[in-house]
Amino acid sequence: MTTLKGAIRSYGASVRRIEREQQRQAREAAKRFKEQQKQQEIKNAKQAVLDWKNYVETIQSVHKNCTEPIDWLEIEKTEKPIEPNLQTRNEALAKKRLENFKPSFFDKIFGSTQKKIKRLSNQLEQAKQKDKKEFDIVYKNYLNELNNWNELQDISSGIKKRETSSYKKALHYFDPFSDIGELGTKISFAFNENHIDIDLHVNSLNVIPDYELRQTSTGKLSKKNMPKSKFNELYQDHICSASMRVAREVFAYLPIDYARVNAMSEIVNTKTGHLEEQPILSVIFPPQTIESLNLETIDPSDSMLNFVHNMKFTKTKGFSIVEKVKLEE
């Protein structure tokens, strides 16, 4: 027979056992949480390093992407949009329902014939309005297509004649530099029958990160200052890459012999001691030379040796002011 004292001892042991089990589970849960937290930190560090590498790669490789070339001959052959006719499909269906209406026996008894005829007549008018609304939409789209067709035909004709005004219209129509952020802050053009002169106001040094991210052997994130020489070389690659991209975009739209791209930057003029908007790179880009390069593997800065260009650059000081390059006579 179980005594009261024995029951109390048994109950107490049971409570202590439960408490020990709860404490063990709490320790294991804390350990699991700490491990999950550690793995998440490692994962975050890995992603941060990957994002940093991708960004550094992107700012050096903007020259790789470009609009597909415009085939102006194909545009010239494009047929003029056909003016649409008003379609009366809804009206025809409603009219047929009205013409085929025959009052039933109950319609005659309850006098609802005229009411139903009136409803069908109203539906006919609504159908006409619906046809009109649908036509208005179609006709508006037609007018937009016609305007675009006329504009492109006009541009195409002018480009065929090498009219500089049409060069300007083409770039305005397609607007390849609407999102210029990855290339610079502003761009301006001067048009000639055989070439185009471009001032690209480049991104400042702020576009280059002044730090490097790495992941340690334990998975933690390490952030260190980027060496000055590497920082300057990255900026050089970015400027050269952006300049080539601008030329490629222009060649995609205009059948010109070459483009001169002048990378303009706010830089200290050593003669005056003041910040001035001056060229730090000036390049003559013929399209054939660009097409001959493997754009996926070139070093943007080294590739400038393929072109007539002016550039003064050192790893320790970066860019210096240069004169805009001139073609040899």
The band of 329, judged by pLDDT with boundaries at 50, 70 and 90, is: very low
How far is 64 from 54, CA to CA, in rounded Å? 14
How far is 105 from 103, CA to CA, in rounded Å? 7
* Mean pLDDT computed over every residue of the chain: 87
How far is 286 from 197, CA to CA, in rounded Å? 12
pLDDT per position as a tens digit, 275-284: 888 999 999 9
Instruction: Give DSSP secondary structure letters for 183-246.
Output: TEEEEEEEE-SSEEEEEEEE--GGGS-SEEEEE-TTS-EEEEEPPHHHHHHHHHHHHHHHHHHH
How far is 325 from 279, CA to CA, in rounded Å? 10
Q: Are 237 and 300 in contact (CB under 8 A)?
A: yes
Q: What is the pLDDT of residue 36?
A: 82
pLDDT per position as a tens digit, 104-135: 777 676 767 777 777 877 887 788 888 888 88
The band of 219, judged by pLDDT with boundaries at 50, 70 and 90, is: confident
- Of 20-24, 182-186, 263-267, 319-323, the one with minimum mean pLDDT is 20-24
Q: What is the pLDDT of residue 15?
A: 65
Map residue 116 onto helix, strand or coil. helix
Global pTM reads: 0.78
For the chain, list the strands marked E by DSSP.
184-191, 195-202, 211-215, 221-225, 258-269, 274-285, 308-310, 312-314, 318-320
- Would you kindly state where each structural domain of the chain is located, as residue ranges? 68-175
Q: For residue 100, is pLDDT > 90?
A: no
The band of 3, judged by pLDDT with boundaries at 50, 70 and 90, is: low
